Amino acid sequence: MMSAQKWSFRITPVRMLLLLLALLAAAIAVYRLVTGLGSATNLNDEWPWGLWIGFDVLTGVALAGGGYSVALIAHILHIEKFNAIARSAMLTSLLGYLLVMIGLFLDIGQWFNFWRPFVSWGYHSVLFEVFWCVSLYTTVQVLEFGEIATEKVVKPLHKFFAKAMPFLLIVGVLLPTLHQSSLGALYLTQVGKLHPLWWSPYIGLFFLMSSFFVGPAMVTVETSLAGRAYNHWIDTKILRSLQRIGFTVMLMYLALKIFDLTSRDAWQYVFAGGLESNMFILEMAVGVLIPLVIFFTAWGKTRAGLTTAGAMVAIGVIINRMNVVITGMIGYSGAGYAPSWMEWMVTIGLVAGGMLAYCFICDNFRILEHEDEQHKAA
63-67, 232-236, 257-261, 365-369: which is most confident: 257-261
pLDDT digits (tens, 9 = 90+) for 53-86: 888 888 888 888 777 778 888 877 778 788 888 8
d(CA 27, CA 30): 5
Given a cut of 60, whether residue 2 has pLDDT beyond it is: no
104-108, 169-173, 179-183, 274-278: which is most confident: 274-278
pLDDT score, position 377: 40
Tell me the three state secondary structure of residue 233: strand
pLDDT digits (tens, 9 = 90+) for 227-237: 888 877 888 99
| CA dist 151 → 80, 146, 224 (Å) | 21, 9, 26
pLDDT score, position 369: 66
pLDDT digits (tens, 9 = 90+) for 4-42: 568 888 889 999 999 999 999 999 999 999 999 999 999
pLDDT digits (tens, 9 = 90+) for 271-289: 998 999 999 999 999 999 9
d(CA 65, CA 43): 28
d(CA 308, CA 300): 9
DSSP string, 306-371: HHHHHHHHHHHHHHHHHIIIIIHHHHHH-------HHHHHHHHHHHHHHHHHHHHHHHHSSSSS--
Given a cut of 70, whether residue 96 has pLDDT beyond it is: yes
Q: Which residues of 319-341 are buried (b: 16+ CB within 10 A; e: fewer)?
A: bbbbbbbbbbbbeeeeeebebbe
pLDDT score, position 370: 54
Given a cut of 50, whether residue 378 has pLDDT beyond it is: no
d(CA 75, CA 86): 8
Average of per-residue pLDDT values in the chain: 89
Q: How confident is the model at residue 133 (pLDDT cuts 50, 70, 90)?
A: confident
Q: How confident is the model at residue 347 (pLDDT cuts 50, 70, 90)?
A: very high
pLDDT digits (tens, 9 = 90+) for 188-204: 988 889 999 999 999 99
Q: What is the mean pLDDT of residues 43-56?
A: 88
pLDDT score, position 374: 47
pLDDT score, position 1: 41
- Predicted TM-score (pTM) of the model is 0.88
